[in-house]
Amino acid sequence: MIAQLEYPGLDASRYLALLDFLGDEACRRLAAAVPSPDTPPEADADVYAQVVALNEFLFDEMGFAGNEADYEDPRNSFLNEVLDRRTGIPITLSLVYMEVARRAGLAVEGVNFPGHFVLRCPAGRTRPAAPDLIIDPFHRGAILSRELLARQSGDVLPRASKLQILARMLGNLKRVYVRMQSFPQARDVADLLIAVDPSAIGELRDRGLLAFQLKDFAGALRDLEGYLNLIPSGAQDEEERQDRERIWEHVKALRKRVASLN
């Protein structure tokens, strides 16, 4: 869905078939994985061996890697490009990792860690009390310290839902397009963000501001008025108050402009 913004004729079945192929190959590697003497003593040795085997397959054999040289390239957010070029940003590489792991029978879930999306692989049934493995696909599947991440986030590293993953992917892409001043594409992404999560009223504001940049004054007025009607009334912090005042000034100017065009 996201890639079709740039590639309207995209044949998604080709890439689903590629994920199936990668999953089948990974399944064979995981079935042959054996615990290593290097396994951390607190870890589930079988699960650790499977993660190491999957890392070796995806990053050593298949060549997936984080795109540190051109992080802002919008292609990093399109799964067809990530699969073709074998590079991407944390969330798209994590999504590939999750989908391959799922097909191979390994339970892996996303973690909405602030600023850098990571994965969690729970311990298996043989050692359920073992700590989860926190995996960073952007850095070749590096296994991170859960305690360090928890201290940095101040949270318990909550599981990312499918909705949250979609919204985060789209939010990343929108920011890239805005920085590139590719406002038509940014507004298309904002449309998807609102479709994915109608409660994200900040996206309604952003879509209105993008419409203004594109000189769609009627669309801008509709979205910005809608935003002002939806934001909670009552006590607001200083930033929220300033945002409301700024948008209200836009609305007043847009009302005059739209009225003059009628």
Model confidence over 232-247: pLDDT tens digits?
Answer: 776 577 888 888 899 9
Binning pLDDT at 50, 70 and 90, where does residue 120 land? Answer: very high
Per-residue pLDDT for 48 more than 60? yes
Share of the chain above pLDDT 70, in %: 94
Q: What is the dihedral of CA 40, 41, 47, 49, to 10 degrees?
A: 50
Beta strand ranges found along the chain (DSSP E): 65-66, 87-88, 109-111, 118-121, 133-136, 142-144
Three-class secondary structure of residue 36 per DSSP? coil
- The confidence score (pLDDT) of residue 115 equals 80
On whether the CB atoms of residues 219 and 208 are closer than 8 A, the answer is yes
- The confidence score (pLDDT) of residue 211 equals 97
pTM value is 0.90
| 186 token code pair | 């940014």
Residue 8, judged by CB atoms within 10 A of its CB (0-12, 13-18, 19+), counts as exposed
In order of start, what are the domains of the chain with their CATH numbers? 3-153 (3.10.620), 181-261 (1.25.40.10)
Per-residue pLDDT for 155 more than 70? no
Contacts of 38 (CB under 8 A, 6+ apart): none
**C-alpha span between 190 and 53 (Å, rounded):** 38
> Which amino acid does the sequence have at 67?
N
